Amino acid sequence: MNFQLTEEQQMLKKMVRDFAENEVEPTAAERDEEERFDRNIFDQMSELGLTGIPWPEEYGGIGSDFVSYAIAVEELSRVCASTGVTLSAHISLASWPIYTFGNKEQKENFLTRLATGEALGAYALSEPGAGSDVSSMRTQAKKDGDDYILNGNKVWITNGGVADIYLVFAKTDQDAGHKGISAFIVEKGTDGFTFGKKEKKLGIRSSPTTELIFENCRIPKENLLGEEGEGFKIAMQTLDGGRNGIAAQAVGIAQGALDKSIGYAKEREQFGKPIAKHQGLSFKLADMATDVEAARLLTYKAAFLESEGKPYAKASAMAKLFAGDAAMEVTTEAVQVYGGYGYTKDYPVERYMRDAKITQIYEGTNEIQRLVIGRMVTS
């Protein structure tokens, strides 16, 4: 067993940390306040090769591994969780299924544009009446000659409106339950595909979350991913890895809040000494640091298993469950370390606390992670 990052992973970590601190962090609070997505940051990530970390060079990627990908999401989220999820949704949710289930033409056309960062990706599974219960989705894809006609609404879509390529799940057979779901690649600008409500959110406010509307939207059959009826399994397998992207986001949020708390506790004096020197406060920091480390180990383990081609669904669900809860706990304590100042927008920890909450909700709530893990450990 080896707990050391490889030389390549260490270099990537340093590169992403420098980029995050110099280019992402300075505008993070402002973008949060204004609920503003900045495409320029995504373009810079593309120049650094981050938009295609795990994909082979032949498809425009940099041929690295899933641990490196987790490190990148973590380092971005350490300063701005919105930027972390932009990359996570782009790689885990939009690109992964095309890499895994796409045919040669789909990879050449769509994956290459995603990997190079020419295009931004999104994943559209959830609907107003179908969040945790994916099979109950209603969006319809009706075969019409060589095309499919899409009708329905998707909600909560990360990168919605700003993304160029959308993986959309719809029912090709309304009576077949989860076996009636199929997956389609839909490009922005396709007739009949428009955007609805943009959510006003508690956290990750510079990551747009938007409704997608399909009204007689005609999709060529070449854009069907996998076979008809395979959509549910494509969606689930995509989430198996995607959940570890969210775990990495949670680790980054928690680490960022911890770093800020330690810095503050060493500076702020009460009762004639830095508050870090009060045992009650240093115990808090010790618990926070331990939570972050444990969450990171679970996350890197799941990423390592995926890179090795070993089963990783259970590890990934465990990582997301633990890291999401840890991020919420650590960021709440970070606000406590800052006292009254932590409760204001003059300091960043309130943003970290607001951002942390989503990691317990999306890509399957933590109740759903328990359901997934529970089924696996008892089967």
Active site residues: 363
Q: Which is nearer to ligand CAA, 117 or 208 (CB)?
A: 208
Write down the least CB distance from residue 183 to ligand FAD, Å. 12
What's the number of CA atoms in the CB half-sphere (13 Å) around residue 3?
A: 6
Q: Choose which of 17, 178, 268, 301 interacts with ligand CAA (CB under 6 A).
A: 178
253 touches ligand CAA (CB under 6 A): no
232 touches ligand CAA (CB under 6 A): yes
89 touches ligand FAD (CB under 6 A): yes
236 touches ligand FAD (CB under 6 A): no
Q: Choose which of 53, 85, 163, 319 interacts with ligand CAA (CB under 6 A).
A: 85
State the maximum Cα–Cα separation within the chain, in Å, rounded to a whole number: 79
Q: Which single residue is written with the structure tokens 């060493």?
A: 266
Report the b/e string of 151-190 with b at 16+ CB within 10 A: bbbbbbbbbbbbbbbbbbbbbbeeeeebbbbbbbbbbbeb
**Per-position x/- string for 341-370, each x denoting binding to ligand CAA as judged by CB under 6 A, each - no binding:** ---------------------xxx---x--
Q: How far apart are CA 313 and CA 195, in angstroms?
A: 32
Residue 283's Cβ-count burial label (10 Å; 0-12, 13-18, 19+) is exposed
Q: Which is nearer to ligand FAD, 98 or 275 (CB)?
A: 98
Cα–Cα distances in Å, from 269 out to 73, 137, 256, 266?
34, 55, 22, 8
132 touches ligand FAD (CB under 6 A): yes
Q: Which single residue is written with the structure tokens 């609070």?
A: 29
Write down the least CB distance from residue 343 to ligand FAD, Å. 23
Q: Which is nearer to ligand CAA, 135 or 307 (CB)?
A: 135
Name, in order, each residue with C-beta under 8 angstroms of 40's C-beta and a sequence gap of 6 or more: none
Name, in order, each residue with C-beta under 8 angstroms of 346's C-beta and a sequence gap of 6 or more: none
* 356, two tokens: 């942390």
Nearest residue to 28 via CA among 78, 89, 74, 70? 78
Q: Which is nearer to ligand CAA, 135 or 140 (CB)?
A: 135
Cα–Cα distances in Å, from 13 out to 70, 147, 265, 294, 371?
10, 44, 26, 19, 33
Q: Choose which of 239, 288, 305, 315 interacts with ligand CAA (CB under 6 A).
A: 239
**Per-position x/- string for 324-363, each x denoting binding to ligand FAD as judged by CB under 6 A, each - no binding:** ----------------------------------x--xxx
Q: How far apart are CA 359 and CA 81, in angstroms?
A: 10
88 touches ligand FAD (CB under 6 A): no
Q: Which is nearer to ligand FAD, 161 or 229 (CB)?
A: 161
Q: How far apart are CA 234 and CA 70, in angstroms?
A: 21
89 touches ligand CAA (CB under 6 A): yes
Of ligand FAD, ligand CAA, none, which one does residue 354 interact with (CB within 5 to 8 Å by kind)? none
Of ligand FAD, ligand CAA, none, which one does residue 219 interact with (CB within 5 to 8 Å by kind)? none
168 touches ligand CAA (CB under 6 A): no
Q: Note the residues at the interface with ligand FAD (CB under 6 A).
A: 89, 123-126, 131-132, 156-158, 201, 204, 209, 358, 361-365, 367-368, 371
Q: Note the residues at the interface with ligand CAA (CB under 6 A).
A: 85, 89, 93, 123, 125-126, 132, 134-135, 158, 178, 232-233, 236-237, 239-240, 246, 313, 362-364, 368, 371-372
